[in-house]
Amino acid sequence: MGKLITDELINERLEARGFGEKQSENEEVVRQNVLNYYGVELTDNWTSKAEYYMYEETTKDGYTVYVATNNTNNISVCEDIYYYNNDLDEKLEEQIKYSNGDEDNPEIIYVDDLNQDFIDRAVENLFIYLAEKFEEDVVDELFNEGYNHKVVTPINALQYIEMISQDYQFDKNSKDYCGFINITVDNDYKWLNYATQVTKDRDRYEIVANHYGLTIDRVVSLGVDRVVKGELIFKELKDED
């Protein structure tokens, strides 16, 4: 049985990068890891060194508005003023994602209240985006190390045999390893068509089984046009001396 790419293995490597399940459960860690990756620092201390500003203002007639701008001396009513802070998460997400900062010299974003929900929404979206991006990298990395995907929904008889070869009963690291598998064909109608093809053309599919380190040890089929009752037994292919 070859090395298989599993969800657990992918998550283990994502966690090593700071973007796995363990980190996703902690809002503070999510925020910090996203900000560190993009080289951004959020502060609620007013500073002229900030690259971007997000804060609440009150109009002359008493209405609350929200400002999101990179220039507090030249605020555009059309582009920088928002009636609802629910609209700010996309602006913050975009500002973080396309920042020019790094870990040593982070880009500073001023937000007058660091406990606002729109901040959590923005960094959560970016965390998900990065986790998906890193997952693609991890899968490529595992392929380069000789791992293969686990087949769960075969689309033909070839993949059906590959799926069988990946069963835990052929995994020598599993406590349930036994080196063979007995398949009662009629009990698994989901794969009945593929099992039928194997029973009807054993010699052809024996070559496929050998490729995955197996041999078709026994085929018992009953029925005329299709396997109604039957048994397939696959065993590990032993090296001949």
Same domain, 76 and 169: no
Q: Is 88 inside a domain boundary? A: yes
Same domain, 89 and 157: no
Same domain, 9 and 78: yes
Q: Is the pTM of this model over 0.85?
A: no
State the pLDDT at residue 178.
86
Q: Is 16 inside a domain boundary? A: yes
What's the structural domain count of the chain? 2
Same domain, 99 and 188: no
Range of the domain at 12: 4-144
State the pLDDT at residue 225.
46
Closest CA to 6 of 152, 180, 127, 131: 152
What is the pLDDT tens value at each position of the chain, 241 positions in all?
567 788 889 999 999 999 999 999 999 999 999 999 999 999 999 999 999 999 999 988 889 999 999 999 999 989 999 998 888 999 999 999 999 999 889 999 999 999 999 999 999 999 999 999 999 999 999 989 888 878 888 889 998 988 888 888 888 878 888 888 888 766 666 778 888 888 888 899 999 999 888 998 877 655 544 444 567 889 988 765 4
Q: Is 241 inside a domain boundary? A: no
Same domain, 93 and 201: no
Q: H helices within the chain, ranges in order?
A: 7-17, 21-24, 27-38, 77-80, 88-97, 117-144, 157-165, 192-200, 202-211
Q: Residue 29 phi/psi, 5° resolution?
A: -70, -40
Same domain, 80 and 30: yes
Same domain, 100 and 130: yes
Cα torsion through 128, 28, 69, 38, rounded to 10? -60
